[in-house]
Structure 1
Amino acid sequence: MLDDRAKLLMKALVERYIADGQPVGSRTLSKASGLDLSPATIRNVMSDLEDMGLIASPHTSAGRVPTARGYRLFVDTMLTVQRDGLQPPELVAEQPQKVIANAAQLLSNLSQFVGVVLAPRRASVLHHIEFLRLSERRVLVIIVSPDGDVQNRVLFTEVDYTQSQLVEAANYLNAHYAGLAFEQVRDRLAGEVERLRAEIATLMQAAVSIDAQAGQPAGEVVISGERNLLAVSDFSSDMRNLRRAFDLFEQKTQLLRLLDVSSRAEGVRIFIGGESSVVPIEELSVVSAPYEVDGQVVGTLGVIGPTRMPYDRMIQIVDITSKLVSNALSRPR
């Protein structure tokens, strides 16, 4: 636990470092905090904060910088968000894809960092399905969507089905469930298991349960403003960190995981690099919030920037943009 003096000094150090990007020394901290303390007293407090893992001393400077743990303490207990009348333009209620793209650009323009939006998942509909026996207890499931998109997945089964059994199961699904969403197919199959032969029912249930991977693709990640990181001194001084950041955007897999975690929480969340495996790059932080369509959370959006970002302003930008997207995508009442 920190006493009030240590909290004030910690808060002043983080704010000064965010503003200047330079390690903060005891003399600078004395002026920034407004406390009438001797340099020796401030150095003792900073030493205690360093022992607690909240700040660190770069080798090239006598000053201190916040650690991931220090940033977490700051955003959780010391950050006050001032509503400074931020007035972003409204997002016009048009095609969802356009709203999502505009939102990513808006986040980037307002933050001067990277705007990222996880688009809603597309509803998956069964148009046609086939099963092909590959080997003992291995079945290839071929799912065709109404727009002609083909998804293939290998299904490992508990029993060894013959090809004639697989054809029978596919014919039944195509005859009775074509045109329905996979969720509807799952619900109906659950109620019809007693009327179907048990082994075929199990196969069909297993097939439609893989729609989270095949029939229902994850929402698209829309990114805007990656080049803004080129102007951030934290990255321009070390191109390795910048390349790692761009690799993250290129792969998008980690971003999907991160944004999916964000969608399960209410309100704005802050992920600080180096704090956990969620954000794999120590120099990056993410401020995110879910957005809704007609009261149901369908996606997430956020800002990605350096850990040395003005969190109070980023929270405002993300919070307001999530509300704008929710309003633009929701049907008129």
Structure 2
Amino acid sequence: MLDERARTLLKALVERYIADGQPVGSRTLSKACGLELSPATIRNVMADLEDLGLIASPHTSAGRIPTPRGYRLFVDTMLTARGLEQGAPELAAAREQLHPDQPQRVIAQAAHLLSNLSSFVGVVTAPRKAGVFHHIEFLRLGERRVLVILVAPDGDVQNRVIFTARDYGQSELAEATNYLNHHYAGLSIEEVRARLKGEVEQLRGEIAALMQAAVQAGSQALEESDQVVVSGERNLLAVQDFGHDMGSLRKLFDLFERKTELMRLLDVSSRAEGVRIYIGGESRVVPFEELSVVSAPYEVDGRVVGTLGVIGPTRMAYDRMIQIVDITSRLVSNALSQK
């Protein structure tokens, strides 16, 4: 636990470093903290903060900078995110760029908006599909190869080839098709999976095997249909913390290419209410000490369907990023909920 003096000095150091990007020395900190403390006292407190792993000295003769642990303490206990007023320019810009009459473009517009407002990287997951199928069909392609056609209520069609343990004739596949459509159409993939567990013993073996394979194919189709829209990757080239470290930049751009990993991170965020902040490698999905993620879920008609956020350096203005992400999630929710 830090006493009030140490907390005040840590808060002043983090805010100064975020603003200037330069290690903070005791003289600068003395002016910034507003406390009448001697340089020796400030140096002693800074030494204590360094022993606690909250700040670090990048060079032997330089000032101190926050560590990811120091940022975390700052964000959790010292940050007060101010709400934006209704007439704030950020809010007006967001409203202008998100067009409720074009829902298919809202996701791309939101990623671009997040990137523009933050000057970092904007990421948005496309709304998750409900996983309900309207119609299913099995077609024989060849020996032990079957095409599964899944049709969603909105007309979206997913095709998957499955490999079966034995060869099926088209009449057997037609029987499985009719049975599945008659008993399970309109249910979600997960509901079908749950019912199959209880009914599989009552079904003939070949129909049960085909249905289980169809459920697996449907689950894979839904997972692969998830999309992540990324905007503003090149903004990181202008960030002082990354600009001269081509190794770090290369790893970051590799991350944006592997969008499935971003999906995992944002999926965790979608299970929490409000804004989430990951700082300096706290998430195994984004294991970079120089990187932070500020994210929030968004809804359609009161149901969480996706997540959006900002990815940037740990040295970011967290209060402003929280505002940007929170407002954008609300506006995206409103835009997608309008019929």
* TM-score (norm: length of structure 1): 0.87
Q: Distance in 2 between matches of 1:62 and 1:130?
A: 70
Matched, 1:144 2:149: yes
Which segment drifts farther, 292-301 or 139-148?
139-148
Structure 1 residue 122, shift from structure 2 partner:
3.2
Structure 2: any 5+ residue segments left out of the alignment?
none
Structure 1 residue 227, shift from structure 2 partner:
1.3
1:308 maps to which residue?
Answer: 315
2:263 maps to which residue?
Answer: 256
Structure 1 residue 242, shift from structure 2 partner:
1.4
Which segment drifts farther, 287-296 or 114-123?
114-123
1:176 maps to which residue?
Answer: 179
Structure 1 residue 281, shift from structure 2 partner:
1.7
- Once the two structures are superposed, what CA deviation does each residue of 1:156-179 show, in whole Å capped at 9, x if it has no partner? xxxxx4324x86764333223457
Q: Distance in 1 between matches of 2:122 and 2:75?
A: 20
- The one-letter code sitting in structure 1 at the alignment partner of 2:166 is T
Structure 1 residue 257, shift from structure 2 partner:
0.8
Structure 1 residue 229, shift from structure 2 partner:
1.2
Structure 1: any 5+ residue segments left out of the alignment?
156-160
Which segment drifts farther, 166-175 or 63-72?
166-175
- Once the two structures are superposed, what CA deviation does each residue of 1:101-132 show, in whole Å capped at 9, x if it has no partner? 11111111111111110011234535433588
Distance 1:285 1:205, change over 3 A: same
Structure 1 residue 212, shift from structure 2 partner:
2.7
2:326 maps to which residue?
Answer: 319
**Percent identity of paired positions between Structure 1 and Structure 2:** 66
Q: Give the aligned CA root-mean-square deviation in angstroms.
A: 2.7
- Paired residues for 1:239-278 under 5 Å: 239-278=246-285
- Once the two structures are superposed, what CA deviation does each residue of 1:262-284 show, in whole Å capped at 9, x if it has no partner? 11110000011223413222211
How many residues of Structure 1 are paired with residues of Structure 2 in the alignment?
322
- Once the two structures are superposed, what CA deviation does each residue of 1:225-280 show, in whole Å capped at 9, x if it has no partner? 11111111111121221111111111112211111111111000001122341322
- Paired residues for 1:118-197 under 5 Å: 118-124=125-131, 125=133, 126-129=135-138, 142-146=147-151, 149-152=158-161, 161-164=165-168, 170-178=173-181, 180=186, 182-183=188-189, 185-186=192-193, 189=196, 193=200, 195-197=202-204
Distance 1:140 1:32, change over 3 A: farther
Structure 1 residue 216, shift from structure 2 partner:
4.7
Distance 1:36 1:167, change over 3 A: farther
- Once the two structures are superposed, what CA deviation does each residue of 1:188-244 show, in whole Å capped at 9, x if it has no partner? 646754642256425523540453323553421011111111111111121221111
- The one-letter code sitting in structure 2 at the alignment partner of 1:143 is V
Contact 1:143–1:215 under 8 Å retained in 2: no
- Paired residues for 1:219-238 under 5 Å: 219-238=226-245
Matched, 1:112 2:116: no
Q: Distance in 2 between matches of 1:60 and 1:142?
A: 66
Distance 1:172 1:55, change over 3 A: farther
* TM-score (norm: length of structure 2): 0.85
- The one-letter code sitting in structure 2 at the alignment partner of 1:27 is R
